[in-house]
């Protein structure tokens, strides 16, 4: 059985993952408006992946006899300065999510909830992958600087991202 502290914290995480999906969908929209359809597709897949993360926590809460409470999702930004700005903000967001996951792990340990601690290990690994992936894109966009041809090549590469897990 899931205790009330963890249930509340996991419910917040469901909402945070839904917000992440919403944010990345907004980023996808912005990139599509800039005719960076590969990057837009990458972000759209990222949005879908974040929805999958939300459902993973959602299902876990139910599996442990808890109850999910969905709350309002904050409106994400809709404008950025560039593709680089989009991916820098995405990287900052993933760092924030990592802190949230780490807090959940700390809570699971404090509450001696070994099942939750075990489930959260998947998210720990996932966050390492998320941060690494987006940071790599940020670093490449910085290298490109203001070279439109290079940006178009990178956009094409981003569009070849495999389906989200």
How do residues 24-57 score in pLDDT, each as one tens digit? 999 999 999 999 999 999 999 999 999 999 999 9
| pLDDT band at 161; cut points 50, 70, 90 | confident
Whether residue 165 is predicted with pLDDT greater than 60 in this model: the reply is no
CA 54 to CA 148: how far, in whole Å? 36
Per-domain residue ranges of the chain: 4-158
pLDDT of residue 72: 96
pLDDT, tens digit (0-9, with 9 covering 90-100), for 84-142? 999 999 999 999 999 999 999 999 999 999 999 999 999 999 999 999 999 999 999 99
Average pLDDT over residues 7-22: 98
User: How is domain 4-158 classified at the CATH fold level?
Assistant: Ferritin (1.20.1260)
pLDDT attached to residue 146: 81
For tokens 């489930």, what's the residue? 119
Beta strands in the chain (DSSP E): none
What is the average pLDDT across 1-29? Answer: 97
Average pLDDT for 71-86: 97
At residue 164, the pLDDT reads 46
pLDDT band, very low/low/confident/very high, at 148 (cuts 50, 70, 90): very high
| pTM of structure | 0.94
Burial (Cβ within 10 Å: 0-12, 13-18, ≥19) of residue 18: buried
Please give the distance of CA 134 from its chain centroid, rounded to a whole number.
Answer: 10
Say how far apart CA 160 and CA 156 lie, in whole Å: 7
What is the pLDDT at residue 162? 67
Pair of tokens at residue 139: 């670093």
């Amino acid at each position: 059985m899931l205790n009330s502290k963890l249930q509340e914290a996991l419910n917040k995480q469901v909402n945070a993952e839904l917000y992440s999906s919403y944010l990345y969908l907004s980023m996808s929209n912005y990139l599509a408006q800039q005719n960076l359809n590969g990057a837009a597709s990458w972000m759209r897949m990222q949005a879908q992946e974040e929805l999958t993360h939300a459902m993973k926590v959602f299902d876990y809460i139910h599996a442990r006899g808890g109850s999910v409470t969905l709350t309002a999702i904050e409106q994400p930004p809709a404008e950025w300065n560039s593709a680089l700005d989009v991916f820098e903000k995405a990287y900052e967001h993933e760092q924030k999510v990592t802190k949230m996951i780490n807090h959940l792990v700390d809570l699971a340990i404090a509450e001696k909830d070994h099942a939750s601690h075990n489930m959260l290990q998947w998210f720990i690994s996932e966050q390492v992958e998320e941060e690494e992936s987006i940071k790599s894109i940020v670093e490449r966009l910085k290298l490109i600087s203001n070279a439109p041809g290079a940006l178009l090549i990178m956009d094409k590469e981003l569009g070849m991202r495999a389906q989200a897990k």
